[in-house]
Every structure is written in structure tokens, then in C-alpha cells.
Structure 1
Amino acid sequence: MKNTQATIRDIAIKLNISISTVSRALRGAPDVNPETKKAVLEMAEKLHYEPNRVAQSLRIKRTNTLGIIVPEIALHFFSSAISGMQEEASHHGYSIMICQSLESYETEKQNVHMLAANRVDGMFISMSSETKDYAHIQQLLNKNIPVVLFDRVTDSLQVAKVVVDDHDGAFKAVEHLIKTGCRRIAYIGGPLTFYISNQRKRGYLDALKQYNIAPDEELIVHCQELHHEPVERVKRLLQLPPDKRPDALFCLNDPIALPVLQMLKEQSIRVPEDISVVGFTNEPVSGFIEPSLTTVSQPSHEMGKKAIELFIQQNQDLDNFIPATEVMKTTLVVRNSTRKI
């Protein structure tokens, strides 16, 4: 089927004026007669004319498009962050392209290269759990493509970052468990190279130290894979002798805690009577399962908006911009998977 989309040439023919005059009128050039400009705009609307964004971007070296890479769009935390980004980006005249790495380093690299090939004006990345090398992101910086990292970040790159206070959130979660009488608290974390896992582990250890509880290395778990391994590792902890078994589980995030809760139910282990469980992120389903999950809530929508704000600040003064880390507060949400104080 022939493409019937209106062009600048169509407007020029209809008005019997030159193509260059139409082009200048659409750009708002001051040297175009006001009546001519009005006629051009009216005809453009009548013909449903849409400007060629590709041609425009080549001319002005800007696409007004931002690239976003997250591990999993299906997780509420990331979909909420993307919503905040889109809201703020739209306010500043940008559209967005969204990719997901599915926790794969190779897929994340492919996403970065694809977005760069599409000439996005900036990139927003929450790294996969497999990402240990950052050369693909450094390449963006070498090409002067602004990068903002959010949630899953690294200290190895000098870029703007948006995170929550993972240490404080973890500290509050473990402190709550201690105040409910738990003493053998296990930490179910991610890879050792995983920034948020290490920050939350620090909060976990500092809470134990604050209450004079010696950490047990057997109860500190680092999972390399986050979908199936955590449940299997918890099963192993439950097979320890009764005096070595954990009486509480502090999980890296809700997507780990929720399958763990399901497994405990299948094994007829009562929560919180036999063991307490705490998550992190506050996925919507966490409040509706039985028992409802005690968790740490992150302001994901606001994190997304803040990431765009940092990009706008950087774009306004590239020469003097100093990469900053924006740290946002968390909130402990107490539900039924932990005992009452």
C-alpha cells in the first residue's frame, strides 16, 4: 500500500509556495510573513502532517529520546520507576525506549548497543544481577552519552545515581525481627558483586552488632541466580539441626521472599510462629498473600522521576556537572509474616 503521509512538498503544492518557505514556517523562522506562517500551519493540520523526526534528529543531533534498561519490567518496582521516568521525561519533551535485560549481562550489553545505535540522548540503567564488568557502560561515557544508574548501581563508574538507603532499610528490617524475639536471623542475598546485596548485608550485620548478636556465616547466603536458587538455599538452612536452624529470614527482595513463603507453606512450616520472613521492595502482591509479607518499601516512582531530573541537570551544564548520588529513604511496612512486638 502506498504511503499517503503528508509531506512538506504536499503543503507547498497546496499553497503554491516554495518548499523552503514551508520548512521555515514550520520551524517558526522570524523571516516568514505571519499570514503565510498561519496558512502553512493550518494546511499542515488539515493534511495531518507529522514532521520527519529522523531527519530532524540528524539535523539538530538530538532525538529527544531516552533509553531505559531494567532487569524485569514485570516487577512492580521497575514498572513503577519507569512510570515515574516517563512522566518526568514527557514533561521535558522526551519520549522513552524501554528494554529489559532479564538478569542477563549479555542481553544488557545488547540493549546498550541497540539504544546507542538509535542515538538516544541519554541512558538509564538498573544493572542485571550478572553484571560484573562495566566496559559497555564506560563506552557510552566515552561517547559523551549521559548515563544515570538507578537502584542497581556500582561505585566503579563516575555517573549520576539514584538509590535508596539500602543499609538503613535493611537495618530497620533486622532490628524489627530482633525486637520480636528472633535471634538466628538468616540473610538471603544476591551475588557478592551485587551492590544492593552488599549494602543490605551491611545493614543486616550492623543491626546484629547493635544488639550484640554474633553473626553466623552459615546463615549468610549469597545466591548467584535469583529465581530458583534462593528457595533451594533456604531448604538447606531448614535441614540444619534445630539449634542451628534460622528463626527468621531477611530476604534481598520480595521476589525472593514470596516464593520462599510459598515453599514454607507447602512444607507446613508456620509463618511467623515457626519462622519469620521479611522482604524488600513492597511488591503489591506482598500485602495480599497469606500471611501478608513484612517488607521495606522503596519510593520507586519518585526514584524514576529523580533519575530524569538528574539527567536534565547534567544536560543543562555538561562541562560543570558533577555526578551525584541521590539517596532516598525507605519505610518498614510491618505485616503478618513477622511476630508482634
Structure 2
Amino acid sequence: MKSHQTTIIDIAKTLNLSKSTVSRALTGHPNVKPKTRERVLELANQLDYQRNQLAISLLTNRTQTIGIMVPEFLSPFFPKVIIGAQEVLAQAGYNVIICHSNESYETEVANTRLLLASRVDGILVSHTKETRNFEHFKIFERKGIPVVFFNRIVDELSVSKVAVDDYEGAYRAVEHLIKTGKRRIAHLSGPDSLMNSRYRLNGYRDALTNNQIPIDPALIISYDLTLDKANIYVNHLLNLPQPPDALFAINDPTAIEALKVIKSRGLRIPEEIAVVGFSDDPISALIEPGLTTVSQPVNEIGQQAARLLLNQLAAEDDRPQPEQVMLPTQLIVRGSTVG
């Protein structure tokens, strides 16, 4: 015998409410009184009500699903951003599809096709280091699907964005090294396809210039963010006739790899060479010496990106102008720069 599945009609009859009121309460519509919504949700839970998402999607032209695209999972940064975004989206009644591009442009393009086929209501994106053509994201714009970029943002699209103040964070990191007496400060920079790499490089350059320290091109190396290349380039810098007395790295994994190379060569940290990273990964405080780094409000990046996307969705046809949120950073001083 087939068991009865609870429907909206069952809930409406029990609570003496209209079907439309129950439907709006179940889908989080703002025009439902809080007490009514609470009664509906409580009864729906008691009766094990399961929403027919397909029917709701056909009715509202919404799937209550958001896509999140990230370029890598090697560092804890992107998982933390996703957690922050999911907290906000779940409270608003949205499900999430997470796509990992593995720093591959082709995979990223394939992921956008998957999300379009899944009829997501919007996407949160941090693009790959290979991405220089953003046509696959412009498709979402043309279809009226809101897009929010976070961390790795772009100028090519008129969309909302969330980032930290990479320039200021880099400037303060290099200024800190200068105040500790360092003068030959090297920089392992990320690829110029990434805007945050360019901002951090500009912060590095301006900190040197404003402190009357000449910029030496031999001390600046842009690389692809792979740790084997970081190992090669740190050794290259240490083999220079005039090696650096400090290193500012694009991120913490690069800085930690640098510390490994420096220690393997018997150099004293920070006396002979100091190191600063960027992102404050959890391991940065656990290694010896502790890594001086630029901390980012990672969880808040995800939360802010989700809120901007929800703002776009709430506006429906009268979509607001794109917004840009820039969050502050904080310099965390540890043993890799101060003995």
C-alpha cells in the first residue's frame, strides 16, 4: 500500500491557511508574517513534508541553487570562503553546487556549462590562474543570472566583487621588513593574470620607493604558484651574487616553501633572511619559526559575496548596480621577521 505523502494542501487545511500562504512560507517569501512562517515550518517538519523542487522551479523560475566556483583546494583559503558563503545562503534557503576548476581554464569553462545546465540562480566565482578570456562568464550576464567574483576579481565584467585590500596588505608587509633593517627585499609574485598578484606587486614596489630603496628587477620573480617552481626560484635568489636579506611571498604556501629551502641551506631566520607570507594559513602559526603574514578575513569574504548575490536576486527585474566590497587585512608578526 502506497503511503501518503504530505502536500501543501495538507498543511494548509491543518492550519486553516491558504495554499499560497503556505507555499510562500515554505519558500521563504518576505511577505509572510514570522509567526505564520514558524507555524508552517514546524508542522511541515512534524509531517516530514518534502518540497517538490521541480514544481517550485517551474512556478517561480528559480531553482534555489547557487553555484560556487573555486580554482583550487590545496590551501585552506577557498574551503573557508565556501563555508562562509554557505552559512549565508543556507539561511536564505539556497542549496549550493561547488565546482573545483583545478587551476584549469578548460575545466572552468566546462564547470560554467554544468552550472548553466543545472539552471542555477546565480554564481560566486574565483577564476583560475589560466583565465584570460571571460566570455564563459559573460553568458551568465546575458541570461540575467547574477555573478559575484571574490578574491580573484576582474575588470572585464560589470558584476559585484569582494576582495581584500591586497595593495595595502603588501605595502605594510614590505614596510615592516624595512623597519626591521632589511634592504634587499625579494618578491615571489603570482602570475600577472591575477589582479591580486598585480596589486600585491604594486604594494611591494611602492613600499620600497617611498622608503628610498631602489627596485632591483633581479629580486622580482613572477611564477605559476606551483611549489616546485617556488623551490627553484628561492634557490635562484639565494644563489645571486648579492642575495636578498628578506622575501615577501605572494602567499603562505610559497613563504613556507621558502622557509624550508632557507633552513636546508643553514641560513639563520630572520637574521640572515626574513620571510613574510600572505593569507595567514593555520599552519603559519605552527611552523618553526612562526611565519609573519598578512591575515585576511576569509570567512567574511564568503559571507559578503553571498550577501551581494542575494541582493541581486532579491531585486529581480530591477537589478541594482554592481557593488564592490573591499575588506581590510592585518599584519601578523611572528618569528620569521622578528627574532
TM-score (norm 1): 0.86
Distance change >3 Å, CA 69–CA 320, structure 1 → 2 = closer
Separation in 2, partners of 1:42, 1:95: 20
Deviations 1:226-252 (A, max 9, x none): 3321221111111111xx211111000
What is the letter of the counterpart of residue 199 of structure 1? Y
Secondary structure class of the residue paired with 2:227:
coil
Separation in 2, partners of 1:292, 1:170: 19
- State the shift of 1:143 in Å: 1.1
- State the shift of 1:167 in Å: 0.4
Preserved CA contact (<8 Å) 2:292 2:332: yes
Separation in 1, partners of 2:123, 2:250: 26
Map of 2:153 onto structure 1: 153
In terms of mean alpha carbon deviation, does 326-335 or 89-98 score higher? 89-98
Map of 2:245 onto structure 1: 247
Preserved CA contact (<8 Å) 1:89 1:95: yes
Preserved CA contact (<8 Å) 1:314 1:321: yes
Mark the runs of 5 or more structure 2 residues left unpaired by the alignment.
Answer: 26-39
Count how many residue pairs are aligned between Structure 1 and Structure 2: 319
- State the shift of 1:46 in Å: 6.7
Preserved CA contact (<8 Å) 1:6 1:49: no
Mark the runs of 5 or more structure 1 residues left unpaired by the alignment.
Answer: 30-39
Preserved CA contact (<8 Å) 1:6 1:50: no
Write the mapping of 1:271-282 to structure 2, written as runs, cut at 5 A.
271-282=269-280
Preserved CA contact (<8 Å) 2:225 2:254: no
Write the mapping of 1:238-317 to structure 2, written as runs, cut at 5 A.
238-241=238-241, 244-317=242-315
Deviations 1:5-46 (A, max 9, x none): 86468x98xxxx9xxx997796379xxxxxxxxxx9999767
Structure possessing the higher radius of gyration over alpha carbons: 1
What is the letter of the counterpart of residue 237 of structure 2? L
Distance change >3 Å, CA 221–CA 6, structure 1 → 2 = farther
Map of 1:219 onto structure 2: 219
What is the letter of the counterpart of residue 222 of structure 2? H
Secondary structure class of the residue paired with 1:228:
helix
Preserved CA contact (<8 Å) 1:8 1:22: no
What is the letter of the counterpart of residue 172 of structure 1? R
Separation in 2, partners of 1:262, 1:285: 13
What is the letter of the counterpart of residue 68 of structure 2? I
Secondary structure class of the residue paired with 1:127:
coil
Preserved CA contact (<8 Å) 1:77 1:283: yes
Secondary structure class of the residue paired with 1:50:
coil
Write the mapping of 1:50-89 to structure 2, written as runs, cut at 5 A.
50-89=50-89
Separation in 1, partners of 2:41, 2:217: 71
Write the mapping of 1:126-205 to structure 2, written as runs, cut at 5 A.
126-205=126-205
Distance change >3 Å, CA 45–CA 290, structure 1 → 2 = closer
Preserved CA contact (<8 Å) 1:65 1:96: yes
Separation in 1, partners of 2:41, 2:223: 60
Map of 1:27 onto structure 2: 23
TM-score (norm 2): 0.86
Write the mapping of 1:230-241 to structure 2, written as runs, cut at 5 A.
230-241=230-241
Secondary structure class of the residue paired with 1:293:
coil
Map of 1:112 onto structure 2: 112
In the alignment, structure 1 residue 329 sits paired with structure 2 residue 325: no
Secondary structure class of the residue paired with 2:288:
coil
Preserved CA contact (<8 Å) 1:249 1:276: yes
Separation in 1, partners of 2:290, 2:43: 59
Identical columns (%):
44
Distance change >3 Å, CA 128–CA 6, structure 1 → 2 = farther
Preserved CA contact (<8 Å) 2:6 2:50: no
Secondary structure class of the residue paired with 1:230:
helix
Secondary structure class of the residue paired with 2:335:
coil
